[in-house]
């Protein structure tokens, strides 16, 4: 029988246990082991099954709760946990200390289409969502006042199982938000708070808003499954990354425009400070910038261009994909359909909207381009990805060389307290202060011997092995095997064998099957008598990606072979719950993307925090953090065009590394059984990568280099009824009119005595500039001096400002920086105090 409808009945807690409610609904328990212990002590078996304190409270028999209400020892522990949470939520932390220096925003709204806080709130598909949640958790630890916003999906992302022949099968279990650690946000009268956005044809799309508590951070999740909506509109938030372009644009309109409206109303209702700075985690929520423009237009009597200056000042855009095909785009007609009748954003002309998303293809609207045009500050997510993004988007800033394109980089980080095994943090010192999560410098860690650390690594490997056996058996049962024939699953994998993990989504560039390139070599590595290797593989393919499913099937065909199935396994349904075991238990974390298509990658960081060593192509974060002794870099065949040839070369390098370096080092044991060489790499990884891969480091960078300057800029733009924004917009107009007529002529290069040029000699560069009516203070004129290659392109130039000399002349003195072939040029750039970068307007005049 199936239920026609499901609903959740809330537990009524005995008076003396009411504190448990607050502990169960604040998701800090996901990174606070003592709180988890408390709930485990209510019913250990139940907690292991549901892994969710709230479900423990709603499922445990009321008699057990009555019993606990009389248990003084339990009550004391619950009281201590509640007091600890209260202290965590209210005490001043790093941000409050930092705020003393001024300029920090009162609040920042962080928009993302997915948030992976915990498997108990399955509202994510993979890396992007987990990163977004780690960002909120670290912000909470640091005391940074963020508000998270995104959709709540009724079916989240899919759960993956396998058919007998190894084909991915998708399931979409429907969630009931009232059974999740979420509260419906309500109006003072008790009715649900709702926001609405206009839809074509005079319709409206309504959403109610659920709030998750991520430590100190409210996370607002919009849910369209409400009665006020037409049937089709109720399904707007049905699932993550499902459906066609029309479905997606509705989701994104809701997330961006509805999301900002939800934040505004939530802050009004609760007294939470209103955000001044807005962070778009990827382009999907970019419509929020348009809603922000509408707000400014309505409030300050500015025109659209002036409002845009105000929007840009407070907006931060983070791009996550170096793959052009990965960028979110819509047919222009579709955008026209939703924005064209002027009801969605009154006062904003649809042509202005379309211009913000313009790209090379006039039929397409590009969300990343819109994000870059709406945000004064933008970044990629690793140093390499920053460089790739500057190249990829360079056309938006014509006339500038890639290094000057105003997109910088903040390397992603992961939330240590979520991802480090508690055994590991107990051994290495577990407090926020010791790890620096509270924003201080990490303090000295306790001395730990190799033997102790090695024993712990074996323990974690052993736990992974048990989990592998359990999951492999469950998967075979699900594929249709009978329990009788599955005895072998109890002995697969070995807690003493070198364990390699490879788990990720399955787009082509991640090359799930690279390891299968030469099956015989792989088999030989797995079955080596002296130095065997065992490999855990996991990863989901997007439901519409047949190619990805074929790759999974290839893996399954290989691992199903009785000759190797004790040494290699594919585990279906990679999610946070499985990920934890993998990151903690694997000795080696393997990553072999096609460089440079991995923007950052974060799973390897989680492995590193647990003493796992990375074996990876130098892509994403690894390109920047690999130091020669914290793991291994798989050589890349970068220049090779033929992808098959490239795969072949890189796979061969991978086998060589595994067989000749990784395995021998792991099995090189001292008399005490400990591999000293291996352990020195583990220690080096923990000591040097440990602090750098943390999300607390990442969030501090965002606060210092993005949120603070954005808050200062937005104040400068919007205070005094938008005087700054008006001045910047008027300046842009003036520049637009005059720019085509600005000319540089009579450039000259003077040396005092015409002797030979030597390094360090002072020279003078002069030019005359026709400013076409602009004031000299409107521009900066620069001399650039650098190496020249065969094409006369200036390389790594030194840039020196030139001063006005009267009569349209400008001059600068500079010293010859190096020997060899040098060249110079002169250029004119816009200059205004509210520009964040001279390249911002995409305008430059070259001599
Ligand atoms: C960290 C994480 C990811 C992201 O890993 P990548 O290295 O970016 O592929 C994906 N899924 C889960 C469940 C994670 O925890």
**Alpha-carbon Rg for the chain in angstroms:** 29
Question: In terms of Cα–Cα distance, which of 136, 127, 113, 407 is closest to 284?
Answer: 113
CATH pick for 452-693 out of 2.40.440.10, 2.60.40.1180, 3.40.50.920, 3.40.50.2000:
3.40.50.2000
Q: Which of 123, 126, 693 to mutate to test the pocket of ligand 1 (most atoms within 8 A of CB)?
A: 126
Q: Going by CA atoms, what residue is nearest to atom 2 of ligand 1?
A: 127
Contacts of 581 (CB under 8 A, 6+ apart): 463, 464, 467
Contacts of 630 (CB under 8 A, 6+ apart): 608, 613, 614, 681, 684, 685, 688, 689
- According to DSSP, the residues that pair with 277 across neighbouring strands are 108
Q: 428 CA to middle of ligand 1, Å? A: 24
Q: Going by CA atoms, what residue is nearest to atom 5 of ligand 1?
A: 603
For position 9, what pLDDT does the model report?
A: 58
576 lines ligand 1 (CB under 6 A): yes
Instruction: Ligand 1, residue 603: give the atom nearest the CA.
Output: 7
Tell me the residue ranges of DSSP E strands in 142-216: 146-151, 159-162, 168-171, 183-184, 194-199, 203-214
For residue 763, the surrounding DSSP H or E stretch is strand 762-770
507 lines ligand 1 (CB under 6 A): no
What is the mean predicted confidence (pLDDT) over 710-735? Answer: 96
Q: 125 CA to middle of ligand 1, Å? A: 9
Express each pLDDT in 457-511 by its tens digit. Answer: 999 999 999 999 999 999 999 999 999 999 999 999 999 999 999 998 888 889 9
Q: 119 CA to middle of ligand 1, Å? A: 13
Express each pLDDT in 795-817 by its tens digit. Answer: 889 999 999 998 889 999 988 88
| pTM for this model (two decimals) | 0.96
pLDDT: is 437 or 336 the higher one?
336
Distance CA 825, CA 847 (A): 6
Burial class (CB within 10 angstroms; exposed 0-12, middle 13-18, buried 19+) of 709 = middle
Q: 161 CA to middle of ligand 1, Å? A: 19
695 lines ligand 1 (CB under 6 A): no
For position 789, what pLDDT does the model report?
A: 82
For position 790, what pLDDT does the model report?
A: 82
Band (603; pLDDT cuts 50, 70, 90): very high
616 lines ligand 1 (CB under 6 A): no
539 lines ligand 1 (CB under 6 A): no
Q: What are phi and psi of 442, to 5 degrees?
A: -60, 135
Helix then strand then coil, in percent of the chain rounded to 5, is: 45, 20, 35
For position 57, what pLDDT does the model report?
A: 94
The CA-to-CA distance between both ends of the chain, in Å, stands at: 79
575 lines ligand 1 (CB under 6 A): yes
Express each pLDDT in 48-85 by its tens digit. Answer: 999 999 999 999 999 999 999 999 999 999 999 999 99
Instruction: Ligand 1, residue 414: give the atom nearest the CA.
Output: 1
510 lines ligand 1 (CB under 6 A): no
The structure tokens listed for 634 are 């798989």
All CATH 3.40.50.2000 domain ranges in the chain, comma separated: 92-409, 452-693
Q: Going by CA atoms, what residue is nearest to atom 4 of ligand 1?
A: 127
Band (580; pLDDT cuts 50, 70, 90): very high
Instruction: Ligand 1, residue 574: give the atom nearest the CA.
Output: 13
Distance CA 815, CA 826 (A): 16
String of b and e for 69-95 (b: at least 16 CB within 10 Å)?
A: eeeeebeeebeebbeebeebeeeebbb
Q: Going by CA atoms, what residue is nearest to atom 3 of ligand 1?
A: 127
Q: 534 CA to middle of ligand 1, Å? A: 21
Q: 730 CA to middle of ligand 1, Å? A: 46
Q: Going by CA atoms, what residue is nearest to atom 8 of ligand 1?
A: 601
3-class SS at 388?
A: helix
Express each pLDDT in 659-703 by its tens digit. Answer: 999 999 999 999 999 999 999 999 999 999 999 999 999 999 999
Q: Which of 507, 548, 603 to mutate to test the pocket of ligand 1 (most atoms within 8 A of CB)?
A: 603
130 lines ligand 1 (CB under 6 A): yes
Q: 694 CA to middle of ligand 1, Å? A: 14
Q: What is the largest CA-CA distance in the chain?
A: 99
Distance of CA 74 to the CA centre of its chain: 39
Q: Which of 30, 127, 594 to mutate to test the pocket of ligand 1 (most atoms within 8 A of CB)?
A: 127
Distance CA 92, CA 438 (A): 10
Instruction: Ligand 1, residue 598: give the atom nearest the CA.
Output: 8
For position 11, what pLDDT does the model report?
A: 62
Q: What are phi and psi of 350, to 5 degrees?
A: -60, -25
127 lines ligand 1 (CB under 6 A): yes
Question: In terms of Cα–Cα distance, which of 534, 564, 537, 516 is closest to 662?
Answer: 534
Distance CA 674, CA 646 (A): 37
Q: 556 CA to middle of ligand 1, Å? A: 21
DSSP assignment string, 577-609: HHHHHHHHH-SEEEE---TT--S---HHHHHHH
Is the pLDDT at 766 greater than 70? The verdict is yes
Q: 505 CA to middle of ligand 1, Å? A: 8
The structure tokens listed for 576 are 């946070």
3-class SS at 641?
A: coil
All CATH 2.60.40.10 domain ranges in the chain, comma separated: 742-846
Torsion of CA 616, 617, 622, 623, to 10 degrees: 160
Distance CA 450, CA 681 (A): 11
Is the pLDDT at 760 greater than 90? The verdict is no
Residue 807 exposure: Cα atoms within 13 Å on the Cβ side: 5
Q: 593 CA to middle of ligand 1, Å? A: 14
Band (643; pLDDT cuts 50, 70, 90): very high
CATH pick for 742-846 out of 2.60.40.10, 3.30.160.150, 3.10.180.10, 3.40.630.30:
2.60.40.10
Distance CA 306, CA 791 (A): 41
Q: What are phi and psi of 353, to 5 degrees?
A: -60, -50
579 lines ligand 1 (CB under 6 A): yes
Instruction: Ligand 1, residue 576: give the atom nearest the CA.
Output: 13
Is the pLDDT at 633 greater than 90? The verdict is yes
Q: Going by CA atoms, what residue is nearest to atom 1 of ligand 1?
A: 603
Q: Which of 579, 582, 583, 615 to mutate to test the pocket of ligand 1 (most atoms within 8 A of CB)?
A: 579
pLDDT above 90 coverage of the chain, percent:
86
Is the pLDDT at 791 greater than 90? The verdict is no
Name the architecture of domain 92-409. Answer: 3-Layer(aba) Sandwich (3.40)
Distance CA 230, CA 169 (A): 31
What is the mean predicted confidence (pLDDT) over 568-574? Answer: 97
For position 444, what pLDDT does the model report?
A: 62
Beta 613-617 vs 588-591: how paired, if at all? parallel
133 lines ligand 1 (CB under 6 A): no
Q: Are 216 and 205 in contact (CB under 8 A)?
A: no
How many CB atoms within 10 Å of residue 232?
A: 12
Q: 130 CA to middle of ligand 1, Å? A: 7
602 lines ligand 1 (CB under 6 A): yes
Q: Which of 160, 415, 601, 602 to mutate to test the pocket of ligand 1 (most atoms within 8 A of CB)?
A: 602
Quote the Cα angle for 652-653-659, to 5°.
90
Question: In terms of Cα–Cα distance, which of 421, 453, 472 is closest to 579?
Answer: 421
322 lines ligand 1 (CB under 6 A): no
Q: 602 CA to middle of ligand 1, Å? A: 6
Q: Which alpha helices (DSSP H) does 439-575 contain, by range?
A: 450-479, 519-527, 546-559
3-class SS at 105?
A: coil
Contacts of 675 (CB under 8 A, 6+ apart): 454, 665, 666, 667, 668, 669
What is the mean predicted confidence (pLDDT) over 831-847? Answer: 95
Residue owning tokens 């750098």: 692
Distance CA 518, CA 527 (A): 15
Torsion of CA 679, 459, 472, 505, to 10 degrees: -50
For position 440, what pLDDT does the model report?
A: 67
Q: Going by CA atoms, what residue is nearest to atom 11 of ligand 1?
A: 126
412 lines ligand 1 (CB under 6 A): no
Distance CA 286, CA 281 (A): 9
Q: 59 CA to middle of ligand 1, Å? A: 31
Instruction: Ligand 1, residue 600: give the atom nearest the CA.
Output: 8
603 lines ligand 1 (CB under 6 A): yes
Q: What is the mean pLDDT of the chain?
A: 94
Band (263; pLDDT cuts 50, 70, 90): very high
Q: Are 208 and 184 in contact (CB under 8 A)?
A: yes
Distance CA 469, CA 475 (A): 10
Question: In terms of Cα–Cα distance, which of 545, 112, 40, 465 is closest to 316?
Answer: 112
Distance CA 828, CA 816 (A): 22
For position 436, what pLDDT does the model report?
A: 65
Distance CA 182, CA 659 (A): 49
The structure tokens listed for 691 are 């602090």
Q: Which of 130, 131, 581 to mutate to test the pocket of ligand 1 (most atoms within 8 A of CB)?
A: 130
Q: 116 CA to middle of ligand 1, Å? A: 10
Band (443; pLDDT cuts 50, 70, 90): low
Distance of CA 177 to the CA centre of its chain: 25
Instruction: Ligand 1, residue 578: give the atom nearest the CA.
Output: 13
């Amino acid at each position: 029988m199936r239920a026609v409808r499901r609903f959740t009945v809330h537990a009524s807690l005995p008076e003396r246990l009411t504190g448990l409610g607050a502990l169960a609904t604040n998701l800090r328990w996901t990174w606070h082991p003592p709180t988890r212990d408390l709930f485990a002590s209510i019913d250990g078996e139940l907690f292991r099954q549901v892994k969710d304190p709230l479900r423990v409270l709603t499922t445990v028999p009321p008699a057990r709760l009555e019993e606990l209400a009389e248990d003084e020892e339990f009550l004391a522990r619950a009281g201590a946990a509640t007091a600890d949470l209260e202290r965590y939520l209210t005490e001043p932390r790093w941000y409050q200390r930092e705020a003393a220096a001024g300029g920090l925003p009162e609040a920042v709204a962080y928009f993302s289409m997915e948030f992976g806080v915990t498997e108990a709130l399955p509202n994510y598909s993979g890396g992007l969502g987990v990163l977004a949640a780690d960002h909120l958790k670290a912000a909470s630890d640091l005391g940074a006042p963020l508000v998270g916003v995104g959709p709540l999906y009724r079916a989240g992302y899919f759960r993956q199982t396998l058919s007998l022949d190894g084909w991915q099968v998708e399931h979409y279990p429907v969630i009931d938000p009232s059974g999740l650690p979420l509260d419906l946000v309500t109006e003072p009268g008790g009715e649900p708070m709702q926001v609405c956005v206009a839809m074509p044809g005079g319709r409206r799309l309504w959403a109610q808003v659920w709030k998750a508590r991520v430590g100190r951070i409210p996370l607002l999740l919009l849910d369209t499954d409400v009665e006020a909506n037409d049937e089709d509109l109720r399904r707007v938030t049905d699932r993550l990354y499902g459906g066609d372009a029309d479905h997606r644009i509705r989701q994104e309109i809701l997330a961006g425009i509805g999301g900002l409206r939800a934040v505004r109303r939530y802050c009004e209702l609760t007294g939470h400070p209103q955000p001044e700075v807005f962070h778009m985690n990827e382009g999907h929520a970019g419509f929020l910038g348009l809603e922000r423009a509408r707000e400014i237009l309505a409030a300050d009597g500015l025109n659209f261009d002036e409002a845009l200056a105000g929007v840009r000042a407070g907006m931060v855009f983070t791009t996550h994909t170096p793959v052009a095909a990965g960028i979110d785009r819509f047919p222009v007609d579709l955008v026209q359909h939703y924005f064209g009748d002027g009801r969605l954003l009154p006062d904003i002309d649809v042509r202005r909207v379309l211009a913000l998303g313009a790209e090379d293809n006039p039929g397409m609207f590009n969300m990343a381009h819109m994000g870059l045009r709406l945000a004064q500050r933008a970044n990629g997510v690793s140093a390499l990805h920053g460089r790739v993004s500057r190249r990829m988007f360079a056309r938006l800033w014509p006339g500038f060389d890639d290094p000057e394109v105003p997109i910088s980089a903040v390397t992603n980080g992961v939330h240590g307290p979520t991802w480090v095994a508690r055994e590991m943090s107990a051994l290495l010192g577990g407090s926020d202060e010791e790890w620096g999560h509270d924003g201080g410098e990490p303090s000295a860690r306790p001395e730990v011997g190799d033997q102790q650390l090695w024993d712990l690594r074996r323990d974690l490997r052993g736990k992974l092995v048990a989990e592998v056996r359990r999951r492999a058996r469950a998967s075979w049962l699900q594929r249709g095997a009978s329990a009788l024939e599955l005895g072998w699953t109890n002995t697969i994998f070995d807690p003493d064998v070198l364990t390699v993990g490879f788990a990720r989504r399955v787009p082509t560039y991640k090359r799930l099957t690279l390891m299968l390139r030469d099956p015989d070599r792989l088999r030989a590595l797995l079955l080596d008598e002296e130095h065997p290797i065992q490999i855990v593989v996991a990863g989901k393919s997007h439901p519409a990606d047949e190619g990805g499913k074929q790759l999974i099937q290839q893996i399954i065909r290989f691992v199903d072979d009785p000759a190797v199935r004790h040494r290699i396994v594919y585990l279906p349904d990679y999610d946070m719950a499985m990920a934890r075991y993998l990151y903690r238990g694997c000795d080696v974390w393997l990553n072999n993307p096609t460089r440079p298509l991995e923007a950052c990658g974060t799973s390897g960081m989680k492995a590193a925090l647990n003493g796992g060593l990375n074996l990876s192509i130098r892509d994403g974060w690894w390109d920047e953090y690999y130091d020669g002794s914290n793991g291994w870099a798989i050589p890349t065949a970068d220049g090779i065009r033929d992808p098959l040839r490239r795969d072949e070369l890189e796979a061969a390098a991978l086998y060589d590394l595994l067989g000749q370096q990784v395995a021998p080092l792991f099995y090189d044991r001292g008399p005490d059984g400990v591999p000293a060489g291996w352990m020195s790499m583990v220690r080096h990884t923990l000591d040097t990568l440990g602090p750098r891969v943390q999300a607390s480091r990442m969030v501090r960078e965002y606060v210092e280099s993005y949120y603070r300057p954005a808050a200062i800029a937005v104040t400068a733009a919007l205070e005094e009824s938008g005087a700054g924004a008006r001045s910047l917009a008027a300046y842009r107009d003036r520049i637009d009119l005059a720019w085509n007529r600005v000319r540089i002529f009579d450039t000259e290069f003077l040396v005092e005595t015409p002797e030979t040029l030597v390094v360090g000699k002072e020279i003078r560069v002069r030019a005359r500039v026709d400013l076409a009516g602009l004031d000299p203070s409107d521009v900066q004129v620069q001399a650039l001096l650098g190496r020249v290659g065969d094409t006369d392109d200036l390389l790594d130039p030194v840039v020196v400002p030139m001063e006005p000399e009267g009569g349209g002349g400008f001059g600068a003195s500079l010293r010859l920086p190096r020997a060899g072939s040098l060249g110079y040029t002169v250029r004119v750039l816009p200059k205004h105090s509210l520009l964040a970068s001279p390249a911002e307007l995409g305008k430059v005049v070259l001599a």
